[in-house]
Amino acid sequence: MIDKTASSDLSAGSLSASQKARLIYDTARSEMSGRLWRAALGSADEAEGEGKPSVNVIGQKTMGQSDPIGLDRLLAILDPDSKAALDAAAAPQVAEAPVAATGEAVAAMGDGPNARYAGMLDAAAERTGLPASALAAIVDAEAAKGSGGTWQPYSRNPRSSAAGLGQFLNGTWEGEAERAGTWLNATAEASGWLDARGQVKAENRGALLALRYDPRASIEAVADYASANVAALRRSGAKIGESTAEVAQAAYLGHHLGVGDAKRFLAGGLSPDRARTLLGAQVGSAAAERRIAQAGDAVSAHRTWLMDYVGKHVRPERFA
């Protein structure tokens, strides 16, 4: 979920013609190549909890699942009138706490390039108990950047279904909507998008996935997913301290790898084949093979690359 394409600024209405064209192109390319890409990389989905697969950087709920958002849905998002209707349909019918006007992120981010998101980060932090600076660090590591380091809500990974500030895959986002207790679950339930079993209705998948491009929804989902991943890693025996930096880095590993691979990574149990696949997904097969040759084995090469990335990019002190 690291290779992103920045496609716009805050709202669809602010997109230029070239930005709209790029977003449409990226979505079309993703839809066309998605199945081949996932089939080539394989899946490491692992049953977690109530029979749910863990979803990781290259995993999906089902390997043959196409991208339900589709070009029709994307074009509706880009059209201001259609987007207004979509926003109205997506608006939760439950009372929400107002976005915080003051807090850790608001104080730290000041009038910087991403100050517009500070209140959202503080609200999600207050709801979940995670530090706002940890959430900001995860978003900063995931989101595509525009000029001056501005996070791009309409960014899209052309090599997978990852989208939005949190670069959530289709399957991960749908799973969070179906997981009781999350902000996204409350939104989906209030919008009538879940069936009697709590599963996303097929006809509402497109609207649900489109919410990834909404900054508030993406930040709230990052917070819920981070909280669940840190708790799962701790239950598995991973030694995660209480400092903001340790929490942020552990949460990011869960976000980036999926909790199943994150457990194996922290325990030193990733197989060479899996490590090679994950490294190739991020840096390309040719670069991965060069790194593996230099390191002597795939596990060491992947670990070195990922820990270097985390150390450089998951830095909550920038937002505290």
Q: How confident is the model at residue 20 (pLDDT cuts 50, 70, 90)?
A: low
Residue 4 lies in a domain: no
Report the pLDDT averaged over residues 206-218: 95
- In the chain, beta strands by DSSP E: 47-48, 52-53
Residue 33 to residues 37, 40, 187, 221, 289: CA-CA distances in angstroms?
Answer: 6, 11, 31, 26, 23
The pLDDT score that the predictor gives to residue 289 is 97
Cα angle 12, 16, 18 (rounded to 5 degrees) comes to 120
Residue 5 lies in a domain: no
Report the pLDDT averaged over residues 206-225: 96
Residue 124 lies in a domain: yes
Residue 2 lies in a domain: no
User: Tens digit of pLDDT for each residue in 73-94?
Assistant: 444 444 444 444 444 444 443 3
The pLDDT score that the predictor gives to residue 176 is 98
Domain that holds residue 285: 12-319
Considering only 38-42, 257-261, 277-281, 308-312, which range has the smallest mean pLDDT?
A: 38-42
The pLDDT score that the predictor gives to residue 147 is 87
The pLDDT score that the predictor gives to residue 266 is 92
Residue 299 lies in a domain: yes
3 state SS of 145? strand
- Residue with the bigger pLDDT between 77 and 206: it is 206
Residue 153 lies in a domain: yes
Residue 226 lies in a domain: yes
Tell which residue, 202, 134, 210, has the closest CA to residue 173.
210
What is the tally of structural domains in the chain?
A: 1
User: Tens digit of pLDDT for each residue in 143-174?
Assistant: 999 989 999 999 888 778 899 999 999 999 99
Instruction: Give the span between the Cα atoms of 161 and 141, in whole angstroms.
Output: 17
**What CATH number corresponds to the domain at position 84?**
1.10.530.10
- pTM (two decimals): 0.72
Instruction: Give the span between the Cα atoms of 292 and 277, in whole angstroms.
Output: 12
Residue 3 lies in a domain: no
With 80 as the cut, is the pLDDT of residue 201 above it? yes
Residue 6 to residues 83, 210, 245, 299: CA-CA distances in angstroms?
Answer: 20, 16, 27, 30
